Structure 1
Amino acid sequence: MDFDIRVIRADEWEQARELRLSALRDPLAHLAFLDTYEAAAARPDSFWQERTVGASEDGPGGVRQFVAEAADGRWVGTVSVLVERAEAETFFGDVPVVEQTHVVGVFVRDEARGSGVIDALFAAAAEWSWSLAGQRTERVRLYVHSENGRAQAAYRRLGFADTGARVALHGSEEANELEYELLRPAG
């Protein structure tokens, strides 16, 4: 499969919405996303427009959404990257001791799985993380549900390691998410 990896543009909110809704229909969505199809589908256009602007190439810089765009223009995969500053509380309630980024919203359409899309998306996310001006990003992290073996295997293959940190999943006393990290290469 031929595809290009790029950051979304501010005016592509309809494509961003469609891809997110497709991700939320995935059989493992309940393990991978803190959202539901029904809730996302009910959000107004203004929500999607603001979200897309914020994660676009012209956005304020704290978030970037990368997409894999097939030769026919269809988006076949995505990852978003959040900047997390040292000593500042994150969306997830923790306070990192190093400058880091956080990968969220990982999704590859069925027909693109196994084609290298996930590798290329993560390479772009890491490259962007390492290149941030004004800080030296020391690691890229993500959380993965303890029962999502497919995603865990993909992340390990991409060089991420389980840190041993666990976070209780919202609304569950038993389920938790595992923190994985990719450390900045030496040099």
Structure 2
Amino acid sequence: MRLRRRVWVLVAAVATVLVAAGAAVAVVTWDSGDDPATLILREYPAGERPAAPPISGELLDGGALDLADLRGEVVVLNVWASWCGPCRAETDDLEQVYQETKELGVSFVGLDIEDERDKAIRFMAGRVSYPSIFDPAFETGLGFTDPPAPVGPPATLVIDRAGDVAVAVYRQVGPIELEQAVRRVASEGAPPDG
């Protein structure tokens, strides 16, 4: 009986290691044909970065914003919705990283998708100081090619000063990994004059 239990414990341990190894491979392998539902994280090397998707629209609190107007800054684009649990969990961390990096020429922009405006405004009130584009039908998703559009929130893109995607995260992002990525991209400096 004890031997049988030990065998099952060993089988479970081996299975856990294999699953973890598979997850690690999923993090480091990705091409533009991959399904975003299976993606976790992608860092693009400088010189091999795709252009950020064209994103513009009406802000939650009125006015409008076009990401192209932020060229020359590092932009953190966070795709979120007020009904999304992981989005709610990462909101305070996003604001913290924004406050700690904005002096480096970093802007944060939210992209509120598949949501109701009044619920989104109530959720964000007093929690974040950066703007959010309101896109209830996720029409901006049509502009994504590489990286692919997220299948749902949350997702976060770190866009370099040239307007290219340096990092794409298709899950809740942690404050340490986000701040490290933002600081790394911000340290690359301004794009060359072209």
TM-score, normalising length: structure 1: 0.32
Name the structure where strand makes up a greater proportion of residues: 1
Greater C-alpha radius of gyration: 2
TM-score, normalising length: structure 2: 0.31
